[in-house]
Amino acid sequence: MRRIFALGLLTALSGCSYFQLADPYGNVYGDFYNPGSTYRWQMLACEQEIDTDAVPGMQRKEFMRCCMGAHGVPIPNPAACPATG
C-alpha cells in the first residue's frame, strides 16, 4: 500500500512540471487549462531579451513576467506592465 501511495505521489509531482513552468526569477506560468510546458519558446525569447537589453538584476523578475505576457502567456495583472511601443 505504501508503494502505491509513493508511486501516486511521484506521478502527481512529475505532472506538475507539465502544468507549470517556472523562470529563474520566481515567476510561475501555466495552470491546468493553460499548460506551462507550451510556453518554453516564449521563455527562451524573453531570456534572450534580458541578455540583449542588459536588464539590471533587480528588474529581471518584472521584465520577465511582462515579456512573457507580451508574448501571449497569461500573467497576473498585465495592466501593471509598462506599455510597449
User: Does 66 fall in a domain?
Assistant: yes
Ranges of H-type helices in 1-85: 2-19, 40-53, 60-70
Residue 85 lies in a domain: no
DSSP-derived letter for residue 1 is: -
24, three cell numbers: 529563474
83 domain-assigned? no
Residue 82 lies in a domain: no
Domain count, the chain: 1
For 57, the domain range is 2-76
Give the separation between CA 27 and CA 8, rounded to whole angstroms. 27
pLDDT, one tens digit per residue, over 2-61 is 666 544 444 444 444 556 788 889 898 887 766 677 788 999 999 999 999 999 999 999
| Alpha-carbon gap, residue 6 to 2, rounded angstroms | 6
Q: Is the residue at 81 inside a domain?
A: no
pTM over 0.75: no
Distance CA 69, CA 59 (A): 16
Is residue 13 in some structural domain? yes
Q: Are 49 and 67 in contact (CB under 8 A)?
A: yes
Query: Considering the domain boundaries, does residue 19 fall inside one?
Result: yes
